[in-house]
Amino acid sequence: MDDNGFSFNIAVVGLGLIGGSYAKALRELKPKKLYGIDLNESSLLKAKKMGIIDEGFTDGSVILKEADLVIIALYPEDTVKFIKDNVCNFKDGAVITDTCGVKQMIVEEALSFLPETVEFVGAHPMAGKESQGFDTASKDLFKNSNYIITPHKENSEKSINLIEKMAKAIGCKSVVRVDIEEHDNIISYTSQLPHVIAVALMDSDICKDAIDLFIGGSFRDATRVAAINEKLWTQLFSLNSDRLVYEIEKFQEALNKIKRAIKSQDKSDLEDIFKDAAQRKRMML
Amino acid sequence: MDDNGFSFNIAVVGLGLIGGSYAKALRELKPKKLYGIDLNESSLLKAKKMGIIDEGFTDGSVILKEADLVIIALYPEDTVKFIKDNVCNFKDGAVITDTCGVKQMIVEEALSFLPETVEFVGAHPMAGKESQGFDTASKDLFKNSNYIITPHKENSEKSINLIEKMAKAIGCKSVVRVDIEEHDNIISYTSQLPHVIAVALMDSDICKDAIDLFIGGSFRDATRVAAINEKLWTQLFSLNSDRLVYEIEKFQEALNKIKRAIKSQDKSDLEDIFKDAAQRKRMML
């Protein structure tokens, strides 16, 4: 690794929206070599033809031995499987990172498989959009987004710094270190719960002809993420199920409190609940 | 009423965001006279100075006798109170309309007070923004929005047509007639329930330092309307409480179904729920 900071070999695993965006953004940093690993050969060919990757591979057996930094941009279960399947393929001294939206299970599984000669740094880039595949990937996907690194006790400062430096170099605004459990707690509230709600809101048979005329901003906003990627979110929810169930139940209590006030026509109680919510929302803006 | 269609006297009651926007938009239609009625004298003065209204009044006792069309843009309870207090002041043959987000109670109350010499046409302009007061009112507020008229069996075609024509003239895209009960049923799902959810979502003590970093689009969207106007929404919820409680309970069942699937780690069940939601959402887009 010389002075420009990125003249080493990088492998990106999975060239979908997220991995493809990493590859496109990392290409700008002029790494020594940039490799793509994906089961989809046409994505590999396209990426090579565009000059995004130097070479593409359908598995890690050959090329991981050359990779100093490995970015795994797969769904959670596939991330764990890729690590497990390639335990003997990683280069000594390599740093491996991931992009999963839940961290405790991923980090625990990764550490349980990996030898001491390679280091795993868990990370969650808070970037995305509602599309899939290499074609929708963009080198600007990470611009101004937050990048959360969840160090564990065996991580070295040097490896964490490497991921931090990379996250900043691809455009992230804030790169922060957060405790693994705290990450999974907060994410269950700020991301998983709103997705559960959006899905639950669509489960209604009020779909009469005139309904479009009645849909204002509040409904459209609350259901924006209801066109959910079912495989990804099933995995994310399952891997964080205890925390998510806890947050759903807290939300259910809050909902019951409002329902009781509406049912009992307790106007001063309702006004107090609304004032509290409005105040919290304004503080968050 | 001559050929240009609006050369008669109009009174707008309440010069807040909605009423102020009516006044500004109606001024463009060159009515014979445009009057404003508001308790707030400074709004009246401002509107008169800007040439929006011809004259302002702090109550309806004098001027309602001159008004052929009265648009009441007050909160629901104040709308009913205004009608009740001015039963003897309306001009014979006048058409009175309102702007409330719930209709059954408003229409029933209005009809119970009003003499046969005036006609009440219930309406719900689906326009608004998260601000209050005359200063934030705009003649363009209704542009491209939906305007719902909820006729009752005593309405004449002529009066309904008048409100339709006015709604189109101030810029509404769709002006439709909907059964009163259907309006209140659908609105409890498409507008009131998302507001309840946004408020319930804010009722959490996860407000640690790092939370801003974890807030993505899904949370921001689902809570956009949480900075709620507590007096208005308390009235809207209270006046439609049975229907809203019914919708909350249907939503609670949907939420429980998802929670059970997460708890039991039933992945195929979760994927099915997500596929259904995604399909409904895509059909709605």
Each residue's pLDDT tens digit, B101-121: 999 999 999 999 999 999 999
Task: Tally the C-alpha atoms within 13 A of residue A176's C-alpha that lie toward its C-beta.
Answer: 16
Mean pLDDT, chain B, whole residue set: 94
In this structure, are residues A196 and A248 in contact, taking their beta carbons and an 8 Å threshold?
yes
Look at residue A1 in the predicted model and tell me its pLDDT. Answer: 44
- The distance of A78 to chain B (nearest Cα, Å) reads 15
Q: How much is the average pLDDT of B4-21? A: 95
A209, pLDDT greater than 70: no
Q: B132 falls in which pLDDT band (50, 70, 90)?
A: confident
- Whether A207 sits inside 8 A of B270 (CB atoms) is no
B8 touches chain A (CB under 8 A): no
Q: In what order do the strands lie in the sheet with A33-37?
A: A55-57, A33-37, A9-13, A69-72, A95-98, A119-126, A146-150, A174-177
Look at residue B131 in the predicted model and tell me its pLDDT. Answer: 80
Q: A285 falls in which pLDDT band (50, 70, 90)?
A: low
- Whether B277 sits inside 8 A of A203 (CB atoms) is yes
Q: How much is the average pLDDT of A238-249? A: 97
Out of B183, B212, B222, closest to residue A194 by CB? B222
Backbone angles phi, psi at B281, to 5 degrees: -65, -45
Q: A207 falls in which pLDDT band (50, 70, 90)?
A: low
Closest CA relative to residue A170, chosen from A6, A29, A54, A273: A29
Look at residue A129 in the predicted model and tell me its pLDDT. Answer: 80
Token pair of B222, please? 């689902």
Look at residue B121 in the predicted model and tell me its pLDDT. Answer: 98
**Which chain B residues are within 8 Å of A260, Cβ to Cβ?**
none
Q: A147 falls in which pLDDT band (50, 70, 90)?
A: very high
Fold: same for A9-178 and A182-284: no
Out of B190, B224, B255, closest to residue A211 by CB? B190
Lowest mean pLDDT among A34-48, A108-122, A195-209: A195-209
Each residue's pLDDT tens digit, A110-139: 999 999 999 999 999 998 887 889 999 999
Q: How much is the average pLDDT of A6-28? A: 97
* 3 state DSSP class of B164: helix
Token pair of B48, please? 């008169």
Report CA torsion sign: B265, B266, B267, B273: negative
- The distance of A63 to chain B (nearest Cα, Å) reads 34
Q: How many Cβ atoms from other residues are within 10 Å of residue B251's Cβ?
A: 22
Closest CA relative to residue A99, chosen from A71, A139, A80, A118: A71
Look at residue B2 in the predicted model and tell me its pLDDT. Answer: 47
- Whether B281 sits inside 8 A of A227 (CB atoms) is yes
In this structure, are residues B262 and B270 in contact, taking their beta carbons and an 8 Å threshold?
yes
In this structure, are residues A118 and A141 in contact, taking their beta carbons and an 8 Å threshold?
no
Q: B207 falls in which pLDDT band (50, 70, 90)?
A: low
Q: B210 falls in which pLDDT band (50, 70, 90)?
A: low
Q: How many Cβ atoms from other residues are within 10 Å of residue B283's Cβ?
A: 10
Look at residue B129 in the predicted model and tell me its pLDDT. Answer: 80
A2, pLDDT greater than 60: no
**Which chain B residues are within 8 Å of A223, Cβ to Cβ?**
281, 284
In this structure, are residues B66 and B42 in contact, taking their beta carbons and an 8 Å threshold?
no
- Whether A200 sits inside 8 A of B285 (CB atoms) is no
A212 touches chain B (CB under 8 A): yes
Look at residue A115 in the predicted model and tell me its pLDDT. Answer: 94
Q: B203 falls in which pLDDT band (50, 70, 90)?
A: confident
**For residues A180 and A111, what is the distance between their CA atoms, to the nearest angstrom?**
13
* 3 state DSSP class of B195: helix
Backbone angles phi, psi at A267, to 5 degrees: -65, -35
- The distance of A143 to chain B (nearest Cα, Å) reads 14
Each residue's pLDDT tens digit, A52-89: 999 999 999 999 999 999 999 999 999 999 999 999 99
E strand or H helix at B34:
strand B33-37
- What CATH number is given for B9-178 in this structure? 3.40.50.720
Each residue's pLDDT tens digit, B150-174: 999 999 999 999 999 999 999 999 9
- What CATH number is given for B182-284 in this structure? 1.10.3660.10
If you count residue pairs, one on A and one on B, with CB atoms under 8 Å apart, how many are there?
279
Each as own residue / partner, the long-range contacts of residues B82-89 (CB below 8 Å, 24 or more positions apart, any chain) are: B82/B13, B83/B109, B83/B110, B83/B113, B83/B114, B83/B120, B84/B109, B84/B113, B85/B60, B86/B60, B86/B61, B87/B113, B87/B114, B87/B115, B89/B60, B89/B61, B89/B64, B89/B65
Complex ipTM more than 0.85, yes or no:
yes
Each residue's pLDDT tens digit, A251-284: 999 999 999 999 999 999 999 999 999 998 888 7
Mean pLDDT, chain A, whole residue set: 94
Nearest residue of chain B to residue A146 (CA atoms)? B213
**Which chain A residues are within 8 Å of B202, Cβ to Cβ?**
276-277, 280-281
Residue B78 is which amino acid?
D
A169, pLDDT greater than 50: yes
A191, pLDDT greater than 90: yes
Domain ranges of chain A: 9-178, 182-284
Pure H helices in chain A:
17-27, 41-49, 76-85, 104-113, 157-169, 180-187, 193-202, 217-222, 230-238, 241-263, 267-284
Burial of A253 (0-12, 13-18, 19+ CB in 10 A): exposed
Residues above pLDDT 70, as percent of chain B: 96
**Which chain A residues are within 8 Å of B147, Cβ to Cβ?**
none
- Whether B254 sits inside 8 A of A201 (CB atoms) is yes
B62 touches chain A (CB under 8 A): no
Outline where DSSP puts E strands in A55-173: 55-57, 69-72, 95-98, 119-126, 146-150
Each as own residue / partner, the long-range contacts of residues A79-83 (CB below 8 Å, 24 or more positions apart, any chain) are: A79/A106, A80/A105, A80/A106, A80/A109, A80/A110, A82/A13, A83/A109, A83/A110, A83/A113, A83/A114, A83/A120
- The distance of A223 to chain B (nearest Cα, Å) reads 8
Interface mutation target, options A280, A282, A283, A285, chain B, most CBs of B under 10 Å: A280
CA B138 centroid distance within chain = 16
Burial of A173 (0-12, 13-18, 19+ CB in 10 A): middle
- Whether A282 sits inside 8 A of B255 (CB atoms) is no
**Which chain B residues are within 8 Å of A148, Cβ to Cβ?**
213-214
Look at residue B1 in the predicted model and tell me its pLDDT. Answer: 44
